[in-house]
Chains A and B, each alone.
Chain A
Amino acid sequence: MSEVKIRLGHLFPELLNLYADQGNIAVLKRRAALRNILLEVTPIKLGNELKVEDFDLLLLGGGSDREQAIVGKELAPYREDLQAAIEANMPILAICGGYQLLGKFYELANGERIPGLRLVDMETKPGHGRLIGNIAIEWMAQNESSKELTIVGFENHGGRTYHDYPALGKVLKGHGNNGRDHLEGLQYKSLIGTYIHGPLLPKNPHLADAILRYALNYRGHFSLLEALDDQLEWDAHHAVLQELLGNKKYARVRQRLC
């Protein structure tokens, strides 16, 4: 049997590694391998040329303000390529600082604006204090077969993000994009931006599978991913969810979304 391959480009792992993004990669890799799919990871470091057409999936993690500014500059020449790939349904997973970088700018508390990649019409502004804590959202997944529709994780961001795209989900508990509109993250085609780390994917195997499927589809494979034994993953997911929502709300959410 010829092995199916997914080529993952990990953008600037040496800079954007603040929230354990290798955890996300470990999850994608293992879940792919269990389906006989090879996930090939290429770190793209500062100064390396980025050939967007060489990849089926890109990962952009979180870093400090200083590191984000460096990455913004480094990626600017590839803006057009990235935009075209997104329109063609290339999956990109952008987390925390990486998420902020997708938009027009990220404004710091001192008023300075770090220019973004302008891949989506989105702005991030400073606010009072950081938004920190465990978070649970209701996944507004389009065309998902998963019967579990909650996502859990941790958020920690100073910036407040505003956009008019569909959100990744509705906040059940936590702050989300800006602490105001009860929405978290963004999904445009196969581009996913989110503040949720923890890391994001280990406790959210349904989301990990969705991303793998986007990548396979983008590459022209439309077969289904076989189900895995995710008992431990869901145990960990529900332990956080239950504690976060409290027993009553958890019971209601569980009935509706799980």
Chain B
Amino acid sequence: MSMAEWASTDFEAMRVIKKWKSRLALWVGQITLYVLRLIGRRGTSLPGFLAYRLSPDLLFNLLTQLDTCVFVTGTNGKTTTSALLYSILSDEKNLWLTNKDGANLMQGLLAAFLPHVTATGRLGLRKAILEVDEATLPRITERFHPTMVVVTNVVRDQLDRYGEVDQALAMLRQGISYPGIQLITNADDPLAASLGIERELTSFYGMDEVLQDTQTRNEVRDGAFCLMCGQEIEYSHTIYGQFGHYHCPNGDFTRPTPDYGGILRANDASLIVRWRKRNTEVEQFAVPSPVIGLYNYYNLLAAVATACTLGISTRKIVEAVTVYEAPLGRMQVYAGTPERILALIKNPAGANSVLRTIETDSRAKAVCFAINDADADGRDVSWLWDIDLESFLATAVCDRYFCAGHRALDMALRLLYAGVQRKQIEILDALSDVVKATESLDVPVYVLSTYTALYPLGTYLREASR
């Protein structure tokens, strides 16, 4: 046998081994999924974990079978944006694949595919909308190029996982660096927008007009520096956190004019979208908001921009958004006495926008913080000190605070140093105490929770509301 023949059989053998390894991974994943379902356990990461361990190639085999694939990434709003998009895009006639539970690492993505694959490895669906972790994005796109990547924003988040903002930005830039990928990103966020400057196949969305509040805010603004020259960026208009209308004083970096401009006239109004088309034609339409909070309007705008870019009619977008139901932690209201409202907080920018939404409720109120520090919450609780509680205290009518969760004491200290009196702060031993501790109150209770406390709290609040 010649050397060339040797090499080619070797190659052929490798290919066959790889194929069967990937098939085996599929079966193991599917059988595990089936067994777990039989015993009534859903939503565990085990099937994806096992399948991915056996064959990382399987995920790429499946991805390449898609005709259309949209990735949603960025620091905040991935889950809401993907969920909104899914509800716009997917219906019985035209089903899309998605990772609804927000498991956005390699194994989580694979798990989302498993129920839709035949035993021979054929994928039943042709389109997918997937939430993807920022660090995972470049690891996927080096082998598979999606149709579209949506980058919602780039803010400081869970630093103990990634190191620093610069690194997150570098990973995203790498992730979208391949030709043919349509990028949709946030013009109002200088860091996210920097990804799209001078890039082909890029659409921007951003708020053209937002109701202004006069309070000056002491928030940490990430990326307040020009990435071209290092000069501090100037804002002519701040919206929240680092979002706004900005420019570098040296003129080398300016907020791009959004292709999809949003107009928000009141905090619970419809979002007016001004779509500036390539042929300079402008189409304007109003989208009802199924979610409250300024940050959620950004998610809505991102979803609308992506749907329009995919060619979905504005009529269909409006219809789908009207019947959309928000996932847990997006300011669910649990009726009762008292009324309780549940919101997810996971970083300062997100927490600040939740607080700003609460400020718009002029009633007297109580606030409960449930702070955990498991991996999914971020183990470092420093971020509590970056929340702009001081301007909340100055604006909102609130004299009762409750702290629960594993880091209740850290939160209590944060409140104390923000100027809350010690006697106004009650520390709760368990999450299940939240209902009891607040049941005699005659004011609404806003419950702000980190990720791992959210689901237990959702259950307690729902039961109390019956």
Q: Is the CB of B409 within 8 A of A156?
A: no
Give 1 or 0 for each of A183-218: 1 = CB within 8 Å of chain B CB.
000000000000001110011000000000000000
Known A20-B383, A154-B379; judge A202-B166 contact (CB<8 A).
no
Nearest B-chain residue to A197, judged by Cβ: B382
The count of A-to-B residue pairs whose CB atoms sit within 8 angstroms is: 78
**Set B167, B380, B384, B422: member contacting A232, Cβ < 8 A:** B422
Known A66-B166, A156-B159; judge A26-B412 contact (CB<8 A).
no
Q: Is the CB of A46 within 8 A of B379?
A: no
CB-CB under 8 A from B382, the residues of chain A are 19-20, 23, 154, 197-199
The prevalent SS among residues of B at the interface is helix
**Set A18, A199, A235: member contacting B159, Cβ < 8 A:** A18
Q: What separation, in Å, do the CA atoms of A7 and B163 have in the docked complex?
A: 32
Q: What separation, in Å, do the CA atoms of A46 and B417 have in the docked complex?
A: 28
The prevalent SS among residues of A at the interface is mixed
Give 1 or 0 for each of A1-36: 1 = CB within 8 Å of chain B CB.
000000000000011011110110011001000000
- Verify if B396 is at the interface (C-beta below 8 Å from A): no
Q: What separation, in Å, do the CA atoms of A246 and B224 have in the docked complex?
A: 42
Nearest A-chain residue to B232, judged by Cβ: A14
For A27, A45, A64, A232, the residue with the greatest tally of chain B CB atoms inside 10 Å of its CB is A232
Give 1 or 0 for each of B220-255: 1 = CB within 8 Å of chain A CB.
100011000010100000000000000000000000
Q: Is the CB of B164 within 8 A of A198?
A: no
- Verify if B5 is at the interface (C-beta below 8 Å from A): no
- Verify if A236 is at the interface (C-beta below 8 Å from B): yes
- Verify if B416 is at the interface (C-beta below 8 Å from A): yes
- Verify if B160 is at the interface (C-beta below 8 Å from A): yes
CB-CB under 8 A from B412, the residues of chain A are 232, 236
Known A64-B166, A132-B160, A235-B409; judge A23-B220 contact (CB<8 A).
no
CB distance from B241 to the nearest CB of A (A): 13
Q: What separation, in Å, do the CA atoms of A30 and B422 have in the docked complex?
A: 14
Q: Is the CB of A133 within 8 A of B413?
A: no
CB-CB under 8 A from A66, the residues of chain B are 166
Give 1 or 0 for each of B393-416: 1 = CB within 8 Å of chain A CB.
000000000000000011011101
CB-CB under 8 A from A235, the residues of chain B are 409
Nearest A-chain residue to B387, judged by Cβ: A20
Q: Is the CB of A203 within 8 A of B379?
A: no
CB-CB under 8 A from B49, the residues of chain A are none
Q: Is the CB of B381 within 8 A of A154?
A: yes
Nearest A-chain residue to B386, judged by Cβ: A20
Q: What separation, in Å, do the CA atoms of A239 and B412 have in the docked complex?
A: 13
- Verify if A251 is at the interface (C-beta below 8 Å from B): no
Q: Is the CB of A202 within 8 A of B386?
A: no
CB-CB under 8 A from A202, the residues of chain B are 385, 410, 413-414, 417
Give 1 or 0 for each of A74-90: 1 = CB within 8 Å of chain B CB.
00000000000000000
Which 6 interchain pairs have the tightest Cβ spacing?
A23-B385, A20-B385, A236-B409, A64-B164, A20-B382, A26-B417
Mark A residues whose CB is within 8 Å of B: 14-15, 17-20, 22-23, 26-27, 30, 45-46, 64-66, 70, 130, 132-134, 154, 156, 158, 197-199, 202-203, 232-233, 235-236, 239
